[in-house]
Amino acid sequence: MRDLSLHILDIVQNSIKAKASEISIILKHEYISLLGKNILKLIITDNGTGMEYELLNRVEDPFMTTRTSRKVGLGIPLLKESALKCDGEFKLSSQKDAGTEITAAFPIDHIDRLPVGDVGETMITLISSNPEIRFMLFLEGEKGSFGLDTREVAESLKGVIITEYAVINWLKEYIDDGIKNIFGGVLNEVNC
């Protein structure tokens, strides 16, 4: 994967396949003073079917998948590899019938850290394709915080469908502005 937004798309597709009705995506900049490092943390949480203990222990293996259409499952292993390649961390927790949480932490200054990418476009793709799912996007950084909840947006539209062209365009601009305001930088890149 060439950026984090593509990892988000891939991992959220897993959540959708696990019948999640609510999916939360958090991008958070933290300064860990004990380590003297700026960290970009990605946390994706869903309320899908979750995984049993046996599957949870095998899901990080790229040659294990629950799909019948192909013999490899690369989403989780690739995200883990991206985090570890830049001396970051990866954590996966899941409970059957309760959901899954994936956390990946990336040292911001590491040369091998992937760029953030076009999170706005990724979110619009997910929302447009799955308007029945509640997506929550939260951004946190030194410059403040940003939140988007598609349930709140849908309620405020008073009958206008969230997938209407004008609404989707507004959502894209809103998310892009949020990313620039919180993370700054060029091309939605994290500046600290």
* Domains of the chain with CATH codes: 4-183 (3.30.565)
Q: What is the pLDDT of residue 54?
A: 74
CA distances from 28 to 157, 181, 184 (A): 28, 13, 13
Q: What is the pLDDT of residues 19-64, one digit of tens each?
A: 999 999 999 999 887 767 899 999 999 999 988 877 767 665 555 5
Scan for tokens 């799909």, then name that residue.
67
Beta strand 99-107 with 89-95 is antiparallel
Q: What is the pLDDT of residue 67?
A: 47
Cα–Cα distance, 82 to 84 (Å, whole number): 6
Instruction: Output the CA angle 186-187-188, nearest 5 degrees.
Output: 90
Q: What is the pLDDT of residue 153?
A: 95
Answer whether 77's CB lies under 8 Å from 65's CB.
no
Q: What is the pLDDT of residue 58?
A: 66
pTM above 0.85, yes or no: yes
Instruction: Output the CA angle 27-116-90, nearest 5 degrees.
Output: 60
Scan for tokens 């909840």, then name that residue.
149
Q: What is the pLDDT of residue 158?
A: 87
Question: 60-71 burial by CB neighbour count: b if 16+ within 10 A, else e?
Answer: eebeebeeeeee
Which residue ranges in the chain fall short of pLDDT 50? 66-73, 187
Residue 9's CB: how many other CB atoms inside 10 A?
Answer: 18
